[in-house]
Amino acid sequence: MRVANIVNLGFKELRGLGRDPMLLLLIVYAFTAAIYTAARAMPETLNNAPIAIIDEDRSPLSSRITGAFLPPYFSRPEIITAAEMDRRMDAGLDTFALDIPPNFQRDLLAGKVPTIQLNIDATRMTQAFSGSGYVQSIVTAEVAEFSQRYRGTSTPPVDLVLRARFNPELNKTWFGAVMNVINNITMLSIVLTGAALIREREHGTIEHLLVMPITPFEIMISKVWSMGLVVLVASALSLSLVVQGLLSVPIEGSVPLFLAGAALHLFATTSLGIFLATITGSMPQFGLLLMMVLLPLQVLSGGMTPRESMPEAVQLIMLGAPNTHFVMLAQAILYRGAGLGVVWPQFLTLASIGSALFIFALGRFRKSLK
């Protein structure tokens, strides 16, 4: 192994990437607009949910309930008839339709227990799940205040003091921005290395390299360091300019420590990208295989939902994936300000998984050249 060969081949890969405008555009988009839009698209609370009200009572209480649904949680209520409700729900115009029956106020004052029907379009999952609780709370509060003829707040017998550590405002943008950086690091490292190998195979460059005094190990390690460096630099700029700059997300821990962990993760994922490229014959096949591999890696790694919520068998299987350990160390460093003394097990595991993937991919790469 000659270091000069590895360095020169790496620069060749970088020049080849520079001549590919589509891959350059993908890198820029993935670490700028994709992160910004994905973070902003995560609603912090219910926002402008469309609601319609069938007021069959026409009483002060029903008017009071109608006036309680205000922006920004709900759009201004549409007053409709019972005949219009099904048609509007079928057309997707309303997420909620509240039906206040006739004589609702009179029955309430008479000591009866009247009912109000709430129809929900459950296909709008985020609004439906959180909004139903909002609607119930608003109606219950308005009815209680009307019955007591008093608007005020009752003092609970126990005072629960909430202290949200690491995200005091419970802002989902903080979580979404950093997790999208982590996911894009994985995606781009696999795409860039796999595309580089397939491009050389399609252009016949691999055969030209093999007639030179260059080993398959040198070819592979050059792709690993060059493409890994591109993704590492792009992720560092994204954390600084997009996450901390545009989105104003505070980074509690050491960014250099995070980048060191990202470098180990890139060692594993770039090796995985080369392995996938050796078992596919063309770029379309590589893209199809990439989707089958990338989706489970991202969904089951703990970046979208906590690993503790997954079946135990899935948790055990995903311990063999580099994403799982990278998400653990990234969240510990960037969210909780953890140091090397806390995340060293993840560093060690990533190094082991990366070495195993590299050796496996190198063996497959050598076989594909024969």
- Which of 97, 117, 148 is the last residue in one of the domains? 148
Cα distance between residue 331 and residue 182, in whole Å: 10
23 and 59 housed in the same domain? no
- Which of 113, 148, 183 is the last residue in one of the domains? 148
DSSP per residue over 173-185, as a string? HHHHHHHHHHHHH
- The answer to the question of residue 46 being in a domain is no
- The answer to the question of residue 191 being in a domain is yes
156 residue type, one letter: P
- The answer to the question of residue 21 being in a domain is yes
364 and 224 housed in the same domain? yes
115 and 201 housed in the same domain? no
Residue 44, pLDDT > 60, answer no
195 and 302 housed in the same domain? yes
- Which of 116, 148, 180 is the last residue in one of the domains? 148
Identify the domain containing residue 134 by its residue range: 51-148
What's the mean pLDDT when you consider all of the chain?
Answer: 87
- The answer to the question of residue 134 being in a domain is yes
Q: What is the pTM of this model?
A: 0.78
The model's confidence at residue 169, banded by pLDDT at 50, 70 and 90, is low
34 and 111 housed in the same domain? no
88 and 222 housed in the same domain? no
Please state the domain count of the chain: 2
The model's confidence at residue 329, banded by pLDDT at 50, 70 and 90, is very high
- The answer to the question of residue 101 being in a domain is yes
- The answer to the question of residue 164 being in a domain is no
- The answer to the question of residue 320 being in a domain is yes
Cα distance between residue 63 and residue 198, in whole Å: 67
55 and 37 housed in the same domain? no
- The percentage of the chain sitting over the pLDDT mark of 90, rounded to a whole number, equals 43
Residue 238, pLDDT > 90, answer yes
pLDDT for 155: 66
- The answer to the question of residue 88 being in a domain is yes
| Cβ atoms 20, 65 nearer than 8 A | no
What is the mean pLDDT of the segment spanning 290-305?
Answer: 86
Q: Please give, one letter per residue, the 3-state secondary structure of 21-78.
A: HHHHHHHHHHCCHHHHHHHHCCCCCCCCECEEEEECCCCHHHHHHHHCCCCCCECCCE
In the chain, which residue ranges form alpha helices assigned H by DSSP?
A: 3-18, 21-30, 33-40, 60-67, 82-90, 104-109, 125-148, 172-203, 205-210, 216-237, 255-278, 283-299, 312-318, 322-334, 340-369
What is the three-class DSSP state of 246? Answer: helix
Measuring CA to CA, how many Å separate 89 from each of 21, 143, 255, 259, 297? Answer: 46, 26, 49, 49, 37
58 and 118 housed in the same domain? yes
The model's confidence at residue 154, banded by pLDDT at 50, 70 and 90, is low
The CATH number that applies at residue 98 is: 3.40.1710.10
What pLDDT, in 10s, does the model give residues 20-42? 888 899 999 999 999 998 887 76
What pLDDT, in 10s, does the model give residues 269-279? 999 999 999 88
pLDDT for 116: 92
